[in-house]
Amino acid sequence: MDATFAPSGPLKGRLTPPADKSISHRAAMVGAMATEPVTVTNYLAAEDTLSTLRAMGTIGALPSREGSTVVIRGVGLRAPDAHGETIDVGNAGTLMRLLPGWLAGQEGRSFRFDGDASIRRRPVDRIAVPLRLMGANIEATDDRLPPFTVHGTQLQGITYELPVASAQVKSCVLLAGMMAHGDTTVIEPVPSRDHTERLLSRLGVPLWRTGDAITVGHVDELTVEDIRVPGDLSSAAFPIVAGVLVKGSRLLIEGVNVNWTRAGILNVLERMGAVVIGEREERVDGAVPGEEPIADLDVAHGPLRGTTVEAAEVPLVIDELPLVALLGCFAEGETVVRGAEELKHKESDRIATVVDGLRGLGAHIEATDDGFVVQGGTGIRGGTIHAHGDHRLAMLGAVAGLASREGVTVVGMEAAEVSYPGFGEHVARLQRA
């Protein structure tokens, strides 16, 4: 489906973004680990997270959904069984990389994973390496790609130093650590999203942080409380950036998760001179809190200046880096992103697709081995951009169109439904207000 986004007048009004995708995935998984029914409210009903609910059904749980409320009747921590059925992850990379951590500890049972054409290009070797060190048996296509099979074994706790900061790999190892004998410690090169740690901490799992190391202990069973999912800052970032770029705009984005490990885009916007006002969570060290902080954000258009995003900041802004590229087009001076090789392993190679896509719209942007460089101040002319099946690239094109001089046609706009159902309707509402 193609959609054209014309240059917009001021965007006005209030907007509540979709529920957090990352937390929705995790809430469904821990619900399936429980023995008593768990109610998850404000669950994201999007393609990726619905894949997670179906996957929980494949391994024996009974999820039922009415609107944004999901009730999950779980199988218990040590009783999932797919009975030979393939777990179809669809396009959900988070599901593909987290769930094997839990299932690797199911002795005597095997679980085959597969997904769509995009998923079959996304490597799983970075979870296979630590799981094998713990004693898991994993068979992957070409030893690194889906389809792959996890053969459950008795796991042993390890200390594992992540070669690249990744919340997905970290979460996979921590989930496996609950199943393992002894403690399991993950050492991060720089902090990444901590939603898994917060959720496990809230549920009473023995878990603690010492510096850059997170340790989890063995768990026999899991008692899961009801969970409410906050608004997704990664989704909210698209209307936020639209409000920053479109002249005369003033928006209130309500109920957003401002967890410091997710709020990197707010820090980048602040450095660039954008007007985004709202409470922020300061960096949390030591004990891992069990709750996610929520705030309202007041957004207004304003002039921008270029900035540099270094490698240490990348994990905190990884999903919003395409928007940083777009912001750089409108900022005075140069905007640089370094240390973002991880972008090559998303739904598309986001270095190549973002650079090629924005260049086709008139941006002065060049790819580097680990990021990109934008020469700003000229804005966006307009044209056509292909989503390549990538939800964030589709929404990037839409926001570019609103701020452009001639409008942008997005080829494959339906990809936005993966994480932001109703994105087009939200944009139209802000234009009408």
pLDDT tens figures, 40-52? 999 999 989 999 9
What tokens appear for 136 in the block? Answer: 């898991």
- DSSP at 343: G
Residue-wise pLDDT for 299-349, tens only, equals: 999 899 999 999 999 989 989 999 999 999 999 999 999 998 877 666 668
Is this prediction's pTM over 0.85? yes
What pLDDT shows up at residue 346?
A: 65
Compute how many other C-beta atoms are within 10 angstroms of the C-beta atom of residue 149: 18
Tokens of 208: 């603690």
CA atoms within 13 A on the CB side of 415: 24
User: Catalytic residue at 319?
Assistant: yes
Q: What's the confidence (pLDDT) of residue 367?
A: 93
- Decide if 270 contacts 302 (C-beta within 8 A): no
Cβ count near 40 (within 10 Å): 26
CA distances from 171 to 125, 162, 193, 345, 390 (A): 15, 11, 9, 17, 23
Do 91 and 49 meet the contact criterion of CB atoms below 8 Å apart? no
* Contact of 325 with 367, CB cutoff 8 Å: no
186 and 173 in contact (C-beta within 8 Å)? yes
CA distances from 121 to 300, 346, 348, 386 (A): 39, 10, 9, 18
What radius of gyration do the chain's Cα atoms show? 21
Cα-to-chain-centroid distance, residue 60: 26
Q: Contacts from 285-288 at CB under 8 Å and sequence distance 24+?
A: 285/209, 286/209, 287/201, 287/208, 287/209, 288/194, 288/197, 288/198, 288/201, 288/207, 288/208, 288/209, 288/214
At residue 433, the pLDDT reads: 67
**d(C-alpha 409, C-alpha 403), whole Å:** 13
Beta-carbon contacts of 190 under 8 Å, excluding residues fewer than 6 positions away, are 165, 212, 311, 312, 314, 315
The secondary structure element, H or E, covering residue 263 is none
Q: Residue 286's pLDDT is what?
A: 75
Q: What whole-number distance in Å separates Cα of residue 431 and Cα of residue 410? A: 18
Q: What is the mean pLDDT of each run of 10 residues along the chain (433 residues)?
A: 95 96 96 96 94 98 96 96 96 95 97 94 94 97 95 98 94 98 96 94 92 94 93 96 97 96 94 92 82 96 95 91 97 94 73 94 94 94 95 96 98 92 94 82
Domains parsed from the chain with CATH numbers: 2-18+231-432 (3.65.10.10), 21-228 (3.65.10.10)
Q: Which of 20, 48, 232, 319 is catalytic?
A: 319
- Residue corresponding to tokens 């905007």: 335
Number of residues written out for the chain: 433
